[in-house]
Amino acid sequence: MTSAITPYDHPTSEAITPEALPDTATRRSVAGLCMPSVFEMLEEAAYDLAVVAGDRIMDALGRQVAVRYKDQRRGIMAPYDVVSQVDEEVEALLRRRLAVRHPDHAVLGEEGGLGGAVGSPFTWTIDPIDGTANFVNGLPLYASAIGVLLEGVPVAGAVWCATTHALRPGIYHARQGGPLRFDGRTLTGVAHRTVGRERRLSTAPAPHKLREPDWDHRSFGAIALESALVASGVLASARTSSSRTWDVAPGIVLARAAGHEVWTQGDGRWEPFARFEDAETWAQPVLFGDADAVTALRVGALAR
């Protein structure tokens, strides 16, 4: 699976605001042909980067991969927070691509922090491998997540997943105002059709009960993958204990494109997610869910 990455012109960042770019914003050529909106082009770029990330991760499966741990504290649970050379290679590669394609945009990555054109209204978020512990242990539950923020609001994103509703690797992608897509095709209603099913699946952080009203819990250890599966309808909801911007930014776009809701917990209470006020330091619990899951949240079943 390959996709050519070529630079394209876009309006200057100074002129771009959420008000100036409504969901249906389009540009037309002199001949009257409909041209892609800025958000469409950002989705395309995010998809292209996800293709590159997925290809590099798949290539690494057949070779030896070096691993280190960010937290080397001693103790029964140490070391902690694993990172592989593939995480670093993928993020560095995507940063180089963005430096060519969007030199006037900022880039925030899990491994390399904030860089690029810091202060730009646009910030790209990169989690090169979400679920690295799964990856280095051969468990195929991981993802590579690329998001785009406009003044802190997620407006486009793509998540390459090692496994999907289609039982193969693939890319979920979307933009603000657009549909949820999977490998370029609009995606609707992929949840398995069953007769007599009374319980859905959700993910929740430890410690959590294995069962709640109407849901059984699982834990994948990869929130970008979990959020994509919520968007696709496989999971009813996915909840995190504390997430960073690069973990959840593209999943927010995917979930909203699928008609689901995204909530975050600040000051001890759950509220609808609005924006990342400070993307570099933001760290809060997040809930991705369909209407039933959000209703349960409101009455307290999921708020513990």
Q: What is the pTM of this model?
A: 0.84
**pLDDT tens-digit series, residues 101-138:** 999 999 999 999 999 999 999 999 999 999 999 999 99
What tokens were used for 111? 């491994």
**pLDDT tens-digit series, residues 238-297:** 988 889 999 999 999 999 999 999 999 877 788 999 999 999 999 999 999 988 887 776
What percentage of the chain carries pLDDT values higher than 70? 78
Task: List C-alpha distances in Å: 21 to 24, 62, 123, 250.
Answer: 8, 44, 16, 19
Determine the pLDDT at residue 75. Answer: 63
**pLDDT tens-digit series, residues 200-225:** 888 887 666 677 777 788 889 999 99
3-class DSSP state of 297: helix
pLDDT bucket at 191, cuts 50 / 70 / 90: low
Q: Which of 207, 217, 245, 234 is nearest to 290 (CA)?
A: 234
| Structural domains in the chain, sorted by start | 34-298 (3.30.540.10)
